[in-house]
Chain A
Amino acid sequence: MESPRTLFDKVWDDHVVLTDDDGVDLLFIDLHLVHEVTSPQAFEALDIAGRAVHRPDLTLATIDHGVPTADRELGILDPLSKKQIDTLIANCERTGIELFDISDPRSGIVHVIGPEQGLTQPGMTIVCGDSHTATHGAFGALAIGIGTSQVEHVLATQTLSQPKPKSMSITVDGTLPAGVTPKDVILGIIARIGFNGGGGHVIEYRGSVFEDMSMEGRMTVCNMSIEAGARAGMIAPDETTFDYLRGRPHAPTGPDWDAAVEYWRTLATDPGATFDIEVVIDAADLAPYVSWGTNPSQTIRITDMIPDPESFDDPHDRDAARRALAYMDLEAGTPITDVPVDVVFLGSCTNARIEDLRAAAAVVDGHRVADGVRALVVPGSGLVKLQAEEEGLDEIFLDAGFEWRDAGCSMCLGMNPDILQPGERCASTSNRNFEGRQGRDGRTHLVSPAMAAAAAIEGRFVDIRGWS
């Protein structure tokens, strides 16, 4: 009898083209997503070597990192961003790769548009020159972030040579307490397993909390797998997945749909399969979280106080905490709810889907952004923006004093004009709170959309559970 296999094993095994003498597998790649920042050098090298793009039909390009999210009619004013974007447009024209241009409502953040178009499906291998490619694992795909040399390799061969990572399961069973969102689940997981706790592993998220979660929520969770150092994150496909996919532009139809679903149902981890690491978390132990430091594991519950660096046993953690408090200008022992914010950013591939905007709008409705706070909403894609406008969410945000922007990465990393000024403190729904990530000397606190919205209204962090 075949030994029991995990979801990850099955997707991996189904894509092995060959195994070399050293035991390294060459994997076929079903979908390659491309954006303007990590691809120009790959196209150039390909061109110099006289190599063609092997499967333009399995490659989709978008422009997201460097685009302005306001006053688009002015064009791209930053000459370097403009050159980078023009280079991608030219490369796609030359090689026959489909590109969602800025004017296309289907354009947006690369990890938002793939699922939206139904291009992200269970059991696929998906790569992108971007670490948050893990997002697509929410569908039971194996989705891996790669570097530019690997982008070039995939363009030329539609394959990727990879030693197989180890496997890790994170099981969260039970019912989430009120006010605890998928973002809090993943922040809680990272706080528990550490900034590199998933290093060298592919995580499968298991248990009733993920079974009960929407696709948007699953994407939020898988998106941040990389913030625990994991190679990828995956969730087994189920009825929620199929319902999300049915009818999307690239989803199979008719008999093809039936054949696909039949295959997708076989992907779940077999009973008795084991993982190299198994972590179990009780849903009841989770709470709304806020990050206080400069890596995503430096996170506390909204009811906690800023920790004392001396309380960390590990010398690296202690040193990192000291540096983080100095950078973040925080004092140990301060309740996080006493910390004021200057900016609120609702956006990024972690939390800028329609459900995220709905959750934030529900909090904001009928309130005003606190004096002195700048708050902006940047939808994840043009289609998310349109949908939100159809539902009147834009009005709710605008009435409350939020800025309502066009889609893009925006202040998640500030490659476009949306950046924090030195010293500004931001409640952000993005995924990384590294030093300078949102702007030099800017201070990022990672939170859920609802918590970010409440922080905008109050001008400081508040516990969404007791807030009305």
Chain B
Amino acid sequence: MQPVTVITGQMAPLPRANVDTDQIIPKQFLKRVERSGFGPFLFWDWAQDAEGELDPEFILNRPEYANAVVLVSGPNFGSGSSREHAPWAIEDRGFRAIIAPSFADIFWGNCYNVGLLPVVLTEEEVARLTELAGDPANVVTIDLASQTVTSGDFTASFDIDPGAKHRLLNGLDTIALTLGHADEIDAFEQTRPRWMPSVKSANV
């Protein structure tokens, strides 16, 4: 994973609540076995009509937002399924961070694992940023180390779990970190009661 430190660039406003994973990446695109290439299908049903005609008004179709790196949206962003294809698609489209008043839990965890920074700000702060994002000339800077978001004279700070912050800043491989505790895992496994089920042993 690439380290996440400072993210600077354009914002794309998507001011709606409960943006769900079925909208972020519809099911027909979940059949790929690859990890990349989901970007073109991002918000598929909102980006175009049933005939495949692009909606010129949809924010991600507007050429002036082509370089956006931060998505600014409403509460409960990423609700629904566990599909990591959702953050993959957002990341593949060039986004590095999402700012919203709240996120759905699984999506939130997936973002960290993908290296896409989810930032929670208050409703008022998000409303102000949404306004600022309305002018594509405005630029936002998210500094993970200092946990701040700035855009012009707007500044806000955000919370983040210290462990997640450390891993993002250093681009750490969480599996390698856990494998470093192989001895503790082995020791734990010795204590499991013998009646706990195993897939390999059925009583038939």
Given the interface contacts A41-B33, A131-B80, A147-B82, does A260 sit within 8 Å of B163 by beta carbon? no
Residue A118 lies at the interface, judged by CB distance under 8 Å to chain B: yes
Q: Inside 8 A of B201's CB, which chain A residues have their CB?
A: 250
B102 touches A196 (CB 8 A): yes
For the complex, what is the distance from the CA of A156 to the CA of B173, rounded to whole Å? Answer: 12
Residue A51 lies at the interface, judged by CB distance under 8 Å to chain B: yes
Closest to A252 in B: B195
Among B75, B106, B179: residue with most chain A CB under 10 A: B106
Q: Inside 8 A of A24's CB, which chain B residues have their CB?
A: 161, 163
Residue A95 lies at the interface, judged by CB distance under 8 Å to chain B: no
For the complex, what is the distance from the CA of A454 to the CA of B156, rounded to whole Å? Answer: 53
For the complex, what is the distance from the CA of A87 to the CA of B85, rounded to whole Å? Answer: 17
Q: Inside 8 A of B189's CB, which chain A residues have their CB?
A: 28, 158
Q: Inside 8 A of B184's CB, which chain A residues have their CB?
A: 17-18, 26
A199 touches B104 (CB 8 A): yes
Of the candidate stretches B6-14, B108-116, B140-148, the one touching chain A is B108-116
Q: Inside 8 A of A435's CB, which chain B residues have their CB?
A: 20, 22-23, 45
B175 touches A323 (CB 8 A): no
Q: Inside 8 A of A249's CB, which chain B residues have their CB?
A: 202-204
CB distance from B15 to the nearest CB of A (A): 9
A-side interface residues, number (CB < 8 Å) = 92
Q: How many A-B residue pairs have CB under 8 A?
A: 214
Q: Inside 8 A of B114's CB, which chain A residues have their CB?
A: 149
For the complex, what is the distance from the CA of A119 to the CA of B200, rounded to whole Å? Answer: 11
Which residues of chain A from 37 to 89 have a CB within 8 Å of any chain B CB?
37-38, 40-41, 44-45, 49, 51, 54, 56-60, 65-66, 78, 80-81, 83-84, 87
Q: Inside 8 A of A54's CB, which chain B residues have their CB?
A: 185
Residue B159 lies at the interface, judged by CB distance under 8 Å to chain A: no
For the complex, what is the distance from the CA of A135 to the CA of B167, rounded to whole Å? Answer: 31
CB distance from A263 to the nearest CB of B (A): 7
Q: Inside 8 A of A436's CB, which chain B residues have their CB?
A: 22-23, 26, 45
Q: Inside 8 A of B31's CB, which chain A residues have their CB?
A: 37, 66, 78, 80-81, 83-84, 415
Q: Inside 8 A of B23's CB, which chain A residues have their CB?
A: 434-436
CB distance from A226 to the nearest CB of B (A): 8
B18 touches A295 (CB 8 A): yes
- Residue in B17, B50, B74 whose beta carbon sits within 8 Å of that of A440 in the complex: B50
For the complex, what is the distance from the CA of A168 to the CA of B84, rounded to whole Å? Answer: 26
Q: Is the interface of B mostly helix, strand, loop or mixed?
A: loop
- Residue in B22, B174, B198 whose beta carbon sits within 8 Å of that of A161 in the complex: B174
A49 touches B175 (CB 8 A): yes
B199 touches A58 (CB 8 A): yes
Residue B105 lies at the interface, judged by CB distance under 8 Å to chain A: yes
Residue A441 lies at the interface, judged by CB distance under 8 Å to chain B: yes
A28 touches B105 (CB 8 A): no
Q: Inside 8 A of A209's CB, which chain B residues have their CB?
A: none
For the complex, what is the distance from the CA of A41 to the CA of B75, rounded to whole Å? Answer: 29
Q: Inside 8 A of A441's CB, which chain B residues have their CB?
A: 50
- Residue in B104, B163, B192, B197 whose beta carbon sits within 8 Å of that of A118 in the complex: B197
Contacts A149-B174, A153-B175 known; 19 new A-B pairs at CB < 8 A: A49-B175, A59-B199, A80-B32, A117-B202, A131-B82, A147-B83, A147-B110, A147-B113, A149-B113, A150-B113, A156-B175, A196-B75, A229-B105, A250-B197, A250-B202, A251-B197, A316-B17, A415-B28, A436-B26
Interface residues of A (CB under 8 A from B): 17-18, 20-22, 24, 26, 28, 30-31, 37-38, 40-41, 44-45, 49, 51, 54, 56-60, 65-66, 78, 80-81, 83-84, 87, 98, 117-119, 121, 124, 129-131, 133, 145-150, 152-153, 156-159, 161, 163, 165, 195-196, 199-200, 226, 229-231, 249-253, 256-257, 259-260, 263, 295, 316-317, 319-320, 323, 413-415, 422, 432, 434-437, 440-441
Give 21 CB contacts A-B under 8 Å.
A26-B185, A30-B196, A38-B82, A38-B84, A44-B35, A51-B175, A124-B196, A124-B197, A150-B110, A156-B175, A196-B76, A199-B104, A200-B105, A226-B106, A257-B195, A316-B18, A319-B16, A320-B16, A435-B23, A436-B22, A437-B27
